[in-house]
């Protein structure tokens, strides 16, 4: 396993988690990567590590450049174990290395490991010289945890922002110019939607701090490195942080005997008839984290569930719980769903949508048993109404 050159004397030495399929509920159909970077100057500095089970991959990649015992500095930008998990292995392999972290990062990492680290604690504005290069630190609390910080090398014009600008994807490519923009952009949007959407305030502060820097390369801790499209991903983050939506709606539902599904199709047709883009997801076949990627950039949301024991289906309940945690802002929509006798499913969805601060624009559309022509027409018309309000929001 070899290191990958980022620039002269700057190396990617991370690990690829090809078989990862679920990261705390975030579906990762191709896997993920944990990016660590080795900078060789008069001193050698390692930025971040990898998840503990992949520590040998990290050590082999470092060893393809220098003997690990020659590392002088280890910078822990973030205490979460996908990046800090191999710090103990590095400590054993590089006994003379000085470990550097922010105050909270040092505390949290030392809570995790039995063998404590004698951290050099840094704060925003602090820097170390490693030869002709310097490394500067920028605290970015809640991007993604309270301890998070970024490292910036002005001489290389590289930002090491840890989680920000990352993507959970495993690929043989290391750089954005080796991938299609649309694919990497969607993975970055998925990462933002599922990690940073409820943290838009802290992300805005971090984004503003990054904007002041001279940057040629953004080297995040997950996924590909932005050396061609760093300005484009900065612009995308600006839109996501601002909650900028498109003329688009997402239809999400689960179904028991296809009645709620028939309603969902009519709602989608009604939206499309008005020229509004639609993303359509049945919960039996789509991961909530994938659906969130589309909700990030949609103005409208229609969510449907049949009734089970006077409530919504557990699959829809789980989705609503996930949605609530991610705090989507500025969305509008309505609920829908079928029932056999006593209802309750669609009304329960509507209540959860209100808790998500989704503005309810029309009463929930319900159906007893199988949707007749009248129910199908009402479903279609609800889609049309939602589309017209979405379009009005963009006038
Ligand atoms: Fe990739 Fe918050 O860790």
CA distance 386 to 336: 13
Summarize pLDDT for 139-165 with one digit per residue, the tens: 999 999 999 999 999 999 999 999 999
Which pLDDT does position 115 carry in this prediction? 86
Alpha-carbon distance of 96 to 49, in angstroms, equals 17
CATH superfamily of 4-242: Ribonuclease Z/Hydroxyacylglutathione hydrolase-like (3.60.15.10)
Nearest CA to ligand 1 atom 3: 80
Decide if 270 contacts 380 (C-beta within 8 A).
Answer: yes
Walking along the chain (395 residues) 10 residues at a time, the average pLDDT comes out as 97 98 95 98 98 98 98 98 98 98 98 94 98 98 97 98 98 97 98 97 98 98 98 98 96 98 98 98 97 98 97 98 96 98 96 97 96 98 98 94
- pLDDT the model gives residue 111: 95
The set of protein residues with a Cβ atom below 6 angstroms from ligand 1 is 78, 80, 82-83, 144-145, 163, 221-222
Task: Tell me, in angstroms, the distance from the centre of ligand 1 to residue 75's CA.
Answer: 15
Query: For residue 281, which of 20, 22, 23, 27 has the smallest C-alpha distance?
Result: 27
CA distances from 71 to 11, 107, 136 (A): 13, 23, 18
Q: 163 alpha carbon to ligand 1 midpoint, in Å?
A: 5
Show which residues are catalytic.
24, 78, 80, 82, 144, 163, 191, 222
State the distance from the centre of ligand 1 to the C-alpha of 222, rounded, in angstroms.
Answer: 8
**Eight-state DSSP code of residue 195:** I
* Per-state percent for the chain, helix, strand, coil, to nearest 5: 40, 25, 35
Q: Do 306 and 254 form a contact (C-beta atoms < 8 A)? A: yes
Domain 251-388 = CATH 3.40.50.360: yes
Among candidates 12, 35, 45, which has minimal Cα distance to 155? 45
Ligand 1 atom nearest the C-alpha of 221 is 1
Give ∠ CA 319-322-326 in degrees, rounded to 5. Answer: 135
Question: How many angstroms separate the CA atoms of 194 and 197, rounded?
Answer: 6
What does the domain layout of the chain look like in residue ranges?
A: 4-242, 251-388
Residue 385 confidence (pLDDT) = 98
pLDDT tens per residue across span 84-116: 999 999 999 999 999 999 999 999 999 999 889
Residue 199: what are its φ and ψ, rounded to 5°?
Answer: -120, 35
> φ, ψ for residue 288 (rounded to 5)?
-50, -35
Q: Which atom of ligand 1 is nearest to the CA of 145?
A: 2
Quote the pLDDT of residue 169.
Answer: 97
Read off the pTM: 0.96
Residue 116 confidence (pLDDT): 92
Work out the angle at residue 219's Cα, subtended by the Cα atoms of residues 163 and 244, and round it to the nearest 5 degrees.
55
């Amino acid at each position: 396993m070899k290191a990958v050159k980022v620039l002269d004397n700057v190396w990617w030495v991370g690990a690829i988690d090809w078989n990862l399929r679920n990261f705390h509920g975030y579906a990762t159909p191709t896997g993920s990567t944990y990016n660590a970077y080795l900078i060789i100057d008069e001193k050698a500095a390692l930025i971040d590590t990898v998840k503990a089970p992949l520590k040998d991959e990290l050590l082999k990649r470092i060893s393809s450049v220098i003997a690990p015992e020659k590392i002088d500095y280890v910078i822990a930008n973030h205490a979460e174990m996908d990046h800090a998990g191999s710090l103990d292995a590095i400590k054993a392999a590089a006994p003379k290395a000085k470990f550097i972290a922010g105050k909270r990062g040092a505390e949290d990492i030392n809570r995790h490991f039995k063998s404590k680290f004698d951290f050099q604690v840094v704060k925003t504005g602090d820097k170390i010289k490693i030869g002709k290069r310097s490394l500067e630190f920028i605290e970015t609390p809640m991007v993604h945890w309270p301890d998070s910080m970024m490292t910036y090398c002005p001489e290389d014009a590289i930002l090491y922002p840890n989680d920000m600008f990352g993507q959970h994807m495993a690929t043989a490519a290391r750089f954005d110019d080796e991938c299609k923009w649309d694919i990497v952009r969607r993975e970055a949007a998925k990462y933002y939607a599922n990690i940073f959407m409820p943290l838009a305030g802290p992300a805005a502060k971090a984004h503003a701090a990054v904007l002041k820097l001279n940057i040629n390369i953004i080297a995040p801790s997950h996924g590909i490195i932005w050396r061609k499209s760093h300005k484009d991903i900065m612009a995308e983050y600006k839109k996501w942080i601002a909650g900028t939506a498109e003329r688009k709606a997402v239809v999400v539902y689960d179904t028991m005997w296809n009645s709620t599904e028939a309603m969902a199709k009519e709602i989608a047709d009604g939206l499309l008839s008005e020229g509004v883009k639609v993303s359509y997801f049945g919960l039996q076949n789509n991961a909530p984290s994938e659906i969130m990627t589309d909700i990030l950039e949609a103005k409208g949301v229609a969510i449907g569930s049949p009734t089970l024991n006077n409530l919504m289906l557990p699959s829809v309940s789980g989705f609503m719980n996930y949605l609530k945690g991610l705090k989507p802002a500025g969305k509008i929509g309505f609920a829908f769903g079928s029932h056999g006798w006593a209802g309750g499913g669609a009304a329960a969805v509507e209540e959860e949508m209100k808790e998500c601060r989704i503005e309810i624009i029309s009463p929930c559309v319900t159906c007893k048993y199988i949707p007749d022509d009248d129910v199908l027409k009402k479903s279609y018309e609800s889609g049309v109404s939602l589309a017209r309000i979405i379009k009005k929001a963009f006038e």
